[in-house]
Amino acid sequence: ASREYAAACVEAIAAARESLHGAEERLGRMDAIAGDGDHGRGMVRGVDAAAAAASDAVGQGAGAGDVLAAAGDAWADKAGGTSGVLWGAGLRAFGETVGNASAPEAAVLAAAVTAFADRIVQLGKAEIGDKTMVDALLPFASTFGHAVAGGADPGEAWQDAAREAACAAEATADLLPLKGRARPLAEKSLGTPDPGATSLAMVFAVMGPHFTA
Ligand code: ADP
Ligand code: MG
Ligand code: MG
């Protein structure tokens, strides 16, 4: 089961890769409104490197946790930019919690999501309402955690949490950015959702079926 779960993790990253390639231009345009316009490019560079590192690791017989950690390190290394560092570190923390032993129980998966979120908050120091990816991530983590703790099916819980994250990402349109490169031109971003929150909700939605399979 551990080898199968490592393969599922590779598929999760492949799904993220496909959706980020499709959204590259749109994410770039969103980031160009108040930021520097490179969010689509950065996410694509990061996820491409992560996908390559994940398949290498699986080819060498690595377990799921090591596959995800290698993917995270490659992402942080190659993406450039704030979001790349945070995604990479988050993915490594997720992998460390999932571990190599076997496909994770729902509670372990919830702990891995929490580890992903905690690492990103620790490094980026953003709070809810600062108009960052954290505004989509924390609602995702709490919705998934509560549903799983209540005995929900992990696959359904993940998709409910992904819908919460997508709504929360949309709702950042009304906020002024208080962290990151968009801050100096904060007013210009009113009416546009945060690019990092938008991409996070998108990526989590497509990864779910693989992580919860
Ligand atoms: P950069 O801002 O370095 O060009 P990106 O454009 O790839 O990097 O990513 C921008 C996104 O990063 C923002 O939309 C926001 O979601 C996220 N972000 C920026 N600063 C932080 C932070 N301190 N904590 C969490 N997320 C952040
Ligand atoms: Mg940028
Ligand atoms: Mg940049």
Question: What is the tens place of the pLDDT at every residue in 41-79?
Answer: 999 999 999 999 999 999 999 999 999 999 999 999 999
- Which pLDDT score is estimated for 1? 54
For atom 7 of ligand 1, which residue has the closest CA?
Answer: 39
74: burial class by Cβ within 10 Å (0-12, 13-18, 19+)? buried
Q: Is 74 helix (H, G, I), strand (E, B) or coil?
A: helix
What confidence tier does 184 reach under pLDDT thresholds 50, 70, 90?
confident
- Which pLDDT score is estimated for 3? 81
Q: Is 58 helix (H, G, I), strand (E, B) or coil?
A: helix
Neighbours of ion ligand 3 (CB under 5 A): 36, 38, 81
Total residue length of the chain: 213
Q: From the CB of 119, is ligand 1 less than 6 Å away? A: no
Q: CATH says 2-211 is which class?
A: mainly alpha
Which 8-state DSSP code applies to residue 133?
Answer: T
User: What is the residue extent of each domain of the chain?
Assistant: 2-211
Q: Tell me the mean pLDDT in the region 95-111.
A: 96
Q: What is the pTM of this model?
A: 0.97
Mutate which of 33, 39, 75, 172 for ligand 1 pocket (most atoms within 8 A of beta carbon):
39
